[in-house]
């Protein structure tokens, strides 16, 4: 109980960001099913942004789509669920840096959004957004994919910048 009291702010921050990402993903997928499924794609800004309904039975860019069902369960469901739950618990119990709590909670919220699709929809994840210019386009993706992808990119950038600052500070303090 002492950990919960001492870590209340980190727990609230982790769960808050996690649930915002998770529920925004669920909400947008619901809207996609209601308004895009069975309809023509909707294009914005001269096809830079396209809303188009798709169902993905694999992972990123349909990776694993044709895998054996046991491998699929292990690699696309069981292991990722374990990683997400462990990561969220770590953020709530151990992590002290707010930027890591926020970014990693976004990543985990997006991850769980797609895992829930896989778990309750026979491995089918609902995708509905496509970005690009001309023939240079993304795959069809969803809010969870954006949370995970941009979360990982932003985390790497933050870690690189903060690592450089720490290294520069340590170098200057040893030389001075």
pLDDT tens-digit readout, 100-136: 999 999 999 999 999 999 999 988 899 999 999 988 9
Catalytic residues: 127, 145
Give pLDDT tens digits for 148-176.
999 999 999 999 988 777 666 565 555 65
User: What Cα–Cα distance (Å) separates residue 42 from each residue in 50, 51, 130?
Assistant: 6, 5, 10
Give the long-range contacts of residues 120-124, CB within 8 A, separation 24 or more. 122/57, 123/57, 123/58, 123/72, 123/76, 123/77, 124/55, 124/56, 124/57
Please tell me the pTM assigned to this model: 0.83
pLDDT for residue 157: 94
Helix (H, G, I), strand (E, B) or coil at 59: coil
In 139-176, which positions are buried (b, 16+ CB within 10 angstroms) versus exposed (e)?
ebbbbbbbbbeebeeebeeeeeeeeeeeeeeeeeeeee
């Amino acid at each position: 109980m002492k950990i919960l009291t001492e870590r209340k702010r980190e727990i609230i921050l982790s769960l808050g960001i996690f649930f915002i990402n998770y529920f925004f993903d669920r909400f947008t997928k619901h809207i996609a099913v209601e308004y895009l499924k069975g309809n023509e794609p909707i294009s914005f800004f001269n096809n830079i942004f396209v809303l188009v309904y798709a169902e993905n039975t694999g992972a990123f860019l349909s990776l694993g789509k044709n895998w054996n069902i046991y491998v699929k369960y292990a690699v696309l469901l069981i292991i990722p669920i374990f990683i997400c739950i462990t990561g969220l618990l770590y953020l709530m119990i151990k992590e002290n840096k707010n930027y890591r709590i926020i970014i990693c909670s976004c990543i985990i919220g997006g991850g769980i959004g797609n895992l829930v699709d896989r778990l309750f929809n026979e491995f089918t994840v609902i995708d509905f957004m496509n970005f690009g210019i001309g023939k240079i386009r993304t795959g069809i993706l969803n809010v969870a994919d954006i949370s995970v992808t941009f979360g990982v990119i932003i985390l790497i950038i933050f870690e690189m910048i903060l690592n450089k600052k720490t290294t520069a500070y340590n170098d200057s303090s040893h030389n001075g």
